[in-house]
Chains A and B, each alone.
Chain A
Amino acid sequence: MPLVFCIIFDCIMNIELFFQYVAAGVTYGFIYAIVAIGFNIIYNTTGIINFAQGEFVMLGSMTAITLNAFMPLSLAIVLSVLITMLVGAVMEILFFRWLESPSVLRMIIITIGLSIIIREIALAIWGENVRALPYFTGNEVSSVSFAGVHISPQVLWVVGICSVMVVGLQVFFKYFRYGRQMRACAANREVARLCGINTKNMVTLSFVLSAGIGALAGCVVSPITYSQYNMGVPLAIKGFTVAILGGLGNSMAAVAGGLLLGILESFSVWVMPSAYKDAIAISIMLLILFFRPAGLFGRKEEFSLKEF
């Protein structure tokens, strides 16, 4: 308890610092949310957790960094997102499409294998160097002031682009034909086939979509978090925590869960060495799995009703 008072006291003394932590928390929170939504999309159509989700984020940012040497930033980002989507499609077509009613466990093991392979390939291509995309506007030291609080413009980019992605996905799933078909596939695969929906194509589409959002998220955070061949691993763990936190399969809950985890992590640095940051995510995940297996926001009945 005294600790909490300490923090509150600190905050009041240090309102500027407080908002800085919030901003950092929100930045990371949105990334976790996007990774979690990537998990959800594939989970909803196939019932599996794609452990290579973090690798999509890594591929997106690393490819953009390489391409940026030859072309303007915006073009490099668009191209790298497209390339990562292609990787997602190829991955699904080569490793999942031809399986005849595979078990969930078998598919999950394939995704773990793929994540290792992709990481090794990335290591061979890019080495262990830490790289970063340039800031989209300004540089490391430029900042925007909000009521006396200074935050990096890149944070606004992250928040803006990720929000657009979240809203865009909702619109896609609700109003677009293929979005509706993906939801049908998630709700009842067999009946979806009886409606004439090519469920195999929907699974490919779900990989493409997850790869795309992961890659774009990887690009927008790269200036702040930096990129390296193995950056996908912690992101996958955090994203998975958030997906579980929100109750697997639900996008809006993933956003809430992501922000919660991001902000918790960010404030944890205030009271604990930052090395413990990752431990927080894992502890939260374990606690939730113990006490609320359907997630913080999920109800048991809803657990069986998958929605995007």
Chain B
Amino acid sequence: MLKIRNIEAGYGSIKVLRKVSLHVNPGEIVTIIGANGAGKTTLLRTISGLLRPWSGEIKFNGEDITRTPTERIVRLGCALVPEGRQVFSTMTVRENLMLGATVRFGKDRREDIERDIEWIYDLFPRLAERETQLAGTLSGGEQQMLAIGRALMAKPELLLLDEPSMGLAPTIVKEIFNYIVRLREELGLTVLLVEQNARSALKVSDRAYVIETGRIMLEGRSEDLMQNRDVQRAYLGRDLDREFV
């Protein structure tokens, strides 16, 4: 579904991504883990067209989207939930969701869009209660749900999630991960997930990539990576040296 080959990208003259290649198959949940500043956000921004890559190639469903503008990429069915719970804070929950459906106006009927808003409310009942509240006044967890709901309103085939658990309490984090699994089961949604919360992310995903200073260092099935010693030491917080003393 998504195929990235030898992408290089950065800001100004600073190169952040160095020959990154990865792929996501239809129906998969794929995780990218990596330390702060490794280039995870940069990678997702490049895929969604917010950042022009210097070289390399990105293909989505066989179509080359390396130089395609963001709006068009969303229209093709690839939506990003950006880092840091970004909602339109001066607008209501409902308006946020309507805006998520922008690419469907003129394509889908209004009733379908209204029905999908109801569906989002079923999925996240907490948003339903706050329909007319300004998004800026929601709690962090609710804002994250709204950001995800807004991206879902575009009816994407591939959802890119940038650290959905950042800064949220453990119970909410768990809830968010449950939603991700549910979305795959119910909609057959394909997900590319960036996470610092490596353990939970590896648990819900099929495959994973480890990115370090802009390079893919490791890739494999999530179970396998969970058993990998380097991964355990660096990202799962297990102090192996002490364990074996």
Interface residues of A (CB under 8 A from B): 177, 180-181, 183-184, 187-188, 190-199, 305-307
Contact = CB atoms under 8 A, between A and B. Distances in A.
B88 A197 contact: no
A194 B74 contact: yes
Interface in B92-115: 95, 98-100, 102-103, 105
Given A188-B86, A305-B136, A194 B99 contact: no
Given A180-B98, A181-B99, A194 B80 contact: yes
Nearest to A307: B90
Given A193-B50, A195-B74, A196-B74, A183 B82 contact: no
B99 A306 contact: no
A184 B243 CA distance: 52
B38 to A, nearest CB: 21
Contact of A183 (B80, B90, B103): B90
A172 to B, nearest CB: 14
B79 interface: yes
A198 B74 CA distance: 11
Contact of B154 (A183, A191, A195): A195
6 contacts: A180-B98, A195-B102, A195-B150, A197-B102, A305-B136, A306-B90
B55 interface: no
Nearest to B72: A196
B75 interface: yes
Contact of B99 (A184, A199, A305): A184
Contact of B70 (A177, A181, A193): A193
Nearest to B100: A195
Contacts of A190: 50, 82, 86
Given A180-B91, A183-B90, A187-B91, 7 more contacts: A184-B91, A193-B70, A194-B74, A195-B154, A196-B102, A305-B90, A306-B90
A188 B143 CA distance: 15
A180 B48 contact: no
B71 A183 contact: no
B88 A188 contact: yes
B61 interface: no
B80 to A, nearest CB: 5
Given A193-B50, A194-B48, A181 B88 contact: no
Given A196-B75, A196-B103, A191 B90 contact: no
A195 B95 CA distance: 12
Interface residues on B, range: 20 to 34
Contacts of A181: 99, 102
B98 A191 contact: no
Nearest to A194: B80
A121 B52 CA distance: 40
A99 to B, nearest CB: 15
Contacts of A193: 50, 69-71, 74
Nearest to A201: B71
Interface in B20-37: none
* Most chain B Cβ neighbours within 10 Å, of A180, A181, A187, A192: A187
Contacts of B48: 194
Nearest to A198: B71
A184 B102 CA distance: 11
Contacts of A198: 71
A191 B102 CA distance: 12
B89 interface: yes
A196 B91 contact: no
B86 A191 contact: yes
B88 A196 contact: no
A194 B88 contact: no
A195 B149 CA distance: 11
B82 A187 contact: no
Nearest to B75: A196
Contacts of A196: 71, 74-75, 102-103, 154
A192 to B, nearest CB: 8
Contacts of A194: 48, 50, 70, 74, 79-80, 82, 151
B150 to A, nearest CB: 7
Interface string B103-140: 10100000000000000000000000000000010000
B102 to A, nearest CB: 4
Given A181-B99, A196-B103, A191 B82 contact: yes
Contacts of B79: 194
Given A187-B88, A196-B71, A180 B95 contact: yes
A18 B97 CA distance: 51
A266 to B, nearest CB: 34
B139 to A, nearest CB: 18
A307 B136 CA distance: 13
* Most chain B Cβ neighbours within 10 Å, of A180, A187, A195: A195
B90 A187 contact: yes
A196 B150 CA distance: 11
Nearest to A100: B52
